[in-house]
Amino acid sequence: MPNSHSIYIRKFLYTDILLGQSLVEEAGWNQTFLDWERTFELNPEGCFVAELNDESVGTTTCTQFGEVGWIAMVLVKSANRGMGIGEQLVQNAITYLECAGVSCIRLDATQLGQGLYEKLGFKSEYEVFRFVKTGPAIHEQQTTTALGKAANIAPLDTLLKLDYKATATEREVYFKTLEKKSIDYLFEKNGELSGFATYRVGRNAFQLGPVIATNNSAGRQLLDSVIQRFDDNMYYIDIPVPNKEAIAWAEETGLTVQRKFMRMYRGKPIMDNPQMIWASSGPEKG
């Protein structure tokens, strides 16, 4: 429905990925065209575009994992900020997810957006720090195929069980979109999976995550192994602050905090285990 600014919210189309990527570039974010494509394929009905006087000026996406939903990619053209467009996009996303049967809606808020989300009923859970390793920027044409394959292969159901212990979220649809070449596994001596690490190519830097580990030794080994693949290139890693050992690893490795997010929820909170989360997937999917 329109308001005094003639703002309309419509369904996101595949062709709107170009709009989304232009907003990412304007904001300086790290997502690529492929990231948009994956998000759209995960839930094409839950992606939206804001139009102002027939001009497309903003986006948001919703990803649903069972009863848990994520709101992300809330982007508005710089020239059109301060007009309530972001708020309408988020409110529309909330309505969509609640109608889809989601009981908990989560997101990672920037410091700039946290006040808006609090206004819309979101509560703070814990901080997530984005650490950065400075170095040459990467190029989008680089692909995970250049990074090598995992030495061990874990069945998807085994990986999902470990992920659920950490996140309390059923993310099968998400993991099916990940390239197998970008997943490393670590097994205990008795054959049990003790951790896995994934990563992707971003617009500016490699992005680690999700990285899940059952113990500190596994978490450190996985991260040490994965970062060797990036040579001197820049990479990001988003670490939940409650995971003190992962924070210590980042500081010992010489990484610096680039920005901070607040993980927030609306509705029924879930009981995740951030001590097992050595790297979040990024603000798009938790």
Indicate the domain borders of the chain. Answer: 7-102, 131-279
pLDDT digits (tens, 9 = 90+) for 205-246: 999 999 999 999 999 999 999 999 888 899 999 999 999 999
How, if at all, do strands 104-110 and 68-76 pair? parallel
In angstroms, the CA 118 to CA 16 distance is 29
Burial 89-105 (b: 16+ CB within 10 A, else e): bbebbbebbeeeebebb
Side chain identity, residue 268? K
* pTM of this structure: 0.90
Instruction: Name the CATH topology of 7-102.
Output: Aminopeptidase (3.40.630)
**Averaged confidence pLDDT in the chain:** 89
Give the closest residue to 56 by CA, choosing from 89, 28, 32: 89
pLDDT digits (tens, 9 = 90+) for 94-113: 999 999 999 999 999 988 88
DSSP state of 118: H
Confidence of residue 142 (pLDDT cuts 50, 70, 90): very low
Rounded to 5°, the CA angle 175-179-184 comes to 85
pLDDT digits (tens, 9 = 90+) for 74-90: 999 999 999 999 999 99
Instruction: Name the CATH topology of 131-279.
Output: Aminopeptidase (3.40.630)
Confidence of residue 135 (pLDDT cuts 50, 70, 90): confident
CB < 8 Å & 24+ apart, contacts of 42-45: 42/173, 42/174, 42/177, 44/12, 44/14, 45/11, 45/96
Q: Would 7-102 and 131-279 be classified into the same CATH topology?
A: yes
